Chain A
């Protein structure tokens, strides 16, 4: 049982949670993730660690309400409530070392997991250029935190409501065109990571991405999280979640992410109807 110590709404359908998990907080490293299960009937979903506090014994998660589980988390779980299961830290940590100049790209909810990576890279002496982007101003978050861990920060919105109008690959291309960059991290929707990879490839700069595949156990047992990397099946939970973006078969990844599209829709609609019904009573 894991107590929710703090909950904050970051934007429309976007919540930040500070959850008690002392064992995980003690071991967490940038790039790792946890699996949570809300309750006895819940599914296990992976969430990348956004932050942790060893002394408080807590971890911070940011969730975008897209499916039933994340909606339930956002709508029903408040400070003082408990999450049944939280397990981790899972996956291999990011390779933090001195590279020189690095770019950290966070798209949408991917801003959360890119934050601790940027912080650690700065700590390792790198010059860190941050790029964060979202569809619109309301979906941007943690700009203050990112500013602290980046030497410079570029912000984009698709609709131009804040920062530069456009997508994250635009400032990325501009930076790669004018500056010498040793390494890029990109975390966000698969489609964004795909295009960040294509941009990095144009300039032959190495890029690391974090794959958000469908998982069940997340510990190296079920094989559901497999992705094709350099023509081989790799398991995001124990071989990843970070991979060389240029070796990922993006189209296959995108297809596999849609495996349960109908079921996800059905579960969400059913849940929202229940919520509406409860509100009427």
Chain B
């Protein structure tokens, strides 16, 4: 009968992996994948499809794995998902497709994410098939940002036959996939390969162009682009607004992770970008970025890493898998605490004063609101702090695009299909939703590509006006 538990994924030993940046889980073998695929009930209702932000035909690709037809499986996934090797690794399947899996009512749900990763990796080994590029339409679309939203939107626009240019502010494409998510969770060679595929599909990529500075949205239209997709993502990191937050040794997670992932500061001085790792590191926050920062700090040689989170473990927004990995590697957790100030030792941080919290009534997010307990202050001596409490939306495009409506949080106002208040300007991903997941940004990029396609055909008919 059906195995009640998932085929386990083999992983690097925690004691070994805490000293390297190699990927933690090894991935399924073909035998393991087939065995896991056999657990799928192939239910007609297939709630998993609805649970997937890009509606992959999950039962179909799992059936194909079960039959050993891996090529057909990856084709099925790629009908709706351009970046399966990435999604198979970083999607929170446990709250999406796997959360609604029928098998999950009684047993462990099917390990959909691991199966997705398996066929994506299989394809890399056996040759990647590029999606078919549509007949040239003559329309030109500019995509701002090469993170998950931009990459997905660009690929789909090419499939419709539009000419696409991606503008990336940094020297390397990939956005958060490159600068944010560490190598041990998402190997950069995978991101590079996906971008290579996009270039082979004819997407033009221009790095070192900051839209809003080097060129504005209005100038892009003047240069002959017929539509623009804004996927400029998250921007400035949030800080706590407490005394001492600018002391030396206090980093935003963005800066810390960018130095390490994008600039390879862990190879200093062979690489020129430095990083200063403390002996005792406090990481403030409870999301995936906090887990990434904590685990990275350990790998760079911190003796102790303590995560400070103001609610309890149950409310942590990080994936369970990442919390589990962090604990296995020796990351410590202080729950129900909130920093109130940083202590100064001749300009450098020497400690963090915290106050204990208790949970009150649920707030607008539905989670119970943390309330400080008066007089419960205590100090943790630390020599490095990484603040991972989220980002504001990237400010440059909204600031430099007249008529582009934004919310009071600075996010761009866009409908379900990415249409903004400006004609021909579409947006999706973190710039619209605030910090969210890779897959939700990809879903937004996908819907926007379809909406852009419809917009172009409706506005211009089937071909652009010559010289327009």
Q: Mark A183-209, 1 if CB is under 8 A from B, else 0.
A: 000000000000000000000000000
Q: How would you classify the secondary structure of chain B's contact residues: helix, strand, loop or mixed?
A: loop
Report Cα–Cα, A42/B273, bound state, in Å: 7
Given A27-B213, A221-B394, A223-B252: A216 and B271 interface contact (C-beta under 8 Å): no
Q: Flag the segment in A6-14, A54-62, A114-122, A226-234 that touches B.
A: A226-234
Chain B residues lying within 8 Å of A90, measured Cβ to Cβ, are 210, 213
Chain A residues lying within 8 Å of B207, measured Cβ to Cβ, are 85
| Interface presence of B361 (CB below 8 A) | no
Q: Restricting to B190-211, which residues have a CB under 8 Å from any CB of A?
A: 207-210
Report Cα–Cα, A256/B344, bound state, in Å: 13
Chain A residues lying within 8 Å of B234, measured Cβ to Cβ, are 221
Give the Cβ gap from A37 to chain B, nearest Cβ, in Å: 6
Q: How would you classify the secondary structure of chain A's contact residues: helix, strand, loop or mixed?
A: mixed
Task: Tally A residues with Cβ within 8 Å of B.
Answer: 42
| Interface presence of B237 (CB below 8 A) | yes
Report Cα–Cα, A148/B207, bound state, in Å: 37
| Interface presence of B19 (CB below 8 A) | no
Q: Flag the segment in B22-30, B107-115, B262-270, B327-335 that touches A.
A: B262-270
| Interface presence of B272 (CB below 8 A) | yes
Contact between B239 and A233 (Cβ–Cβ < 8 Å)? Answer: yes
| Interface presence of B276 (CB below 8 A) | yes
Chain A residues lying within 8 Å of B237, measured Cβ to Cβ, are 221-223
Chain A residues lying within 8 Å of B274, measured Cβ to Cβ, are 43, 260, 263-264, 267
Give the Cβ gap from A23 to chain B, nearest Cβ, in Å: 5
| Interface presence of A270 (CB below 8 A) | yes
Q: Flag the segment in B253-261, B309-317, B401-409 that touches A.
A: B253-261
Smallest CB gap from B271: residue in A = A41
Report Cα–Cα, A27/B274, bound state, in Å: 31
Report Cα–Cα, A236/B234, bound state, in Å: 18
Contact between A24 and B214 (Cβ–Cβ < 8 Å)? Answer: yes
Say which residue of B245, B258, B273 sits within 8 Å of A221 (CB atoms).
Answer: B258
| Interface presence of B126 (CB below 8 A) | no
Smallest CB gap from A266: residue in B = B269
Say which residue of B208, B255, B396 sits within 8 Å of A86 (CB atoms).
Answer: B208
| Interface presence of A53 (CB below 8 A) | no
Say which residue of A27, A223, A228, A238 sits within 8 Å of B214 (CB atoms).
Answer: A27
Smallest CB gap from A227: residue in B = B246
Chain A residues lying within 8 Å of B245, measured Cβ to Cβ, are 233
| Interface presence of B45 (CB below 8 A) | no
Say which residue of A224, A226, A267 sits within 8 Å of B269 (CB atoms).
Answer: A267
Contact between B276 and A87 (Cβ–Cβ < 8 Å)? Answer: no
Contact between B272 and A87 (Cβ–Cβ < 8 Å)? Answer: no
Report Cα–Cα, A124/B460, bound state, in Å: 44
| Interface presence of A89 (CB below 8 A) | yes
Chain A residues lying within 8 Å of B424, measured Cβ to Cβ, are none
Give the Cβ gap from B18 to chain A, nearest Cβ, in Å: 23
Given A216-B259, A223-B236, A223-B254: A85 and B208 interface contact (C-beta under 8 Å): yes
Q: Mark A81-93, 1 if CB is under 8 A from B, else 0.
A: 0001111111000
Contact between A89 and B214 (Cβ–Cβ < 8 Å)? Answer: yes
Contact between A263 and B276 (Cβ–Cβ < 8 Å)? Answer: yes
Report Cα–Cα, A124/B273, bound state, in Å: 41
Contact between A223 and B239 (Cβ–Cβ < 8 Å)? Answer: yes
Contact between B395 and A228 (Cβ–Cβ < 8 Å)? Answer: no
Report Cα–Cα, A27/B213, bound state, in Å: 8
Q: Restricting to A247-267, which residues have a CB under 8 Å from any CB of B?
A: 252, 255-256, 258-260, 263-264, 266-267
Give the Cβ gap from A88 to chain B, nearest Cβ, in Å: 7
| Interface presence of A235 (CB below 8 A) | yes
| Interface presence of A166 (CB below 8 A) | no
Say which residue of B213, B254, B270 sits within 8 Å of A89 (CB atoms).
Answer: B213
Q: Mark A28-51, 1 if CB is under 8 A from B, else 0.
A: 000000000100011110000000
Chain A residues lying within 8 Å of B213, measured Cβ to Cβ, are 27, 88-90, 219
Report Cα–Cα, A24/B210, bound state, in Å: 10
Chain A residues lying within 8 Å of B215, measured Cβ to Cβ, are 23, 27
Give the Cβ gap from B222 to chain A, nearest Cβ, in Å: 13
| Interface presence of A212 (CB below 8 A) | no
Q: Which residues of B contact A (CB under 8 A)?
A: 169-171, 179, 207-210, 213-215, 234-237, 239, 241, 245-248, 251-252, 254-255, 258-259, 263-264, 268-274, 276, 347, 394-396
Q: List 15 additional A-B contacts (Cβ < 8 Å) besides A43-B273, A216-B258, A263-B269.
A: A27-B215, A41-B264, A41-B271, A43-B271, A44-B263, A87-B209, A220-B235, A221-B394, A223-B255, A224-B251, A226-B239, A227-B246, A238-B395, A263-B274, A266-B269
Q: Which residues of A contact B (CB under 8 A)?
A: 23-24, 27, 37, 41-44, 68-69, 84-90, 216-217, 219-224, 226-228, 233, 235, 238, 252, 255-256, 258-260, 263-264, 266-267, 270
What are 21 sample pairs from A and B whose C-beta atoms fall under 8 A apart?
A: A27-B215, A41-B272, A43-B273, A44-B171, A68-B272, A86-B208, A87-B214, A216-B259, A217-B169, A219-B213, A221-B236, A221-B254, A221-B394, A223-B252, A224-B255, A227-B246, A228-B246, A235-B236, A263-B268, A267-B269, A267-B274
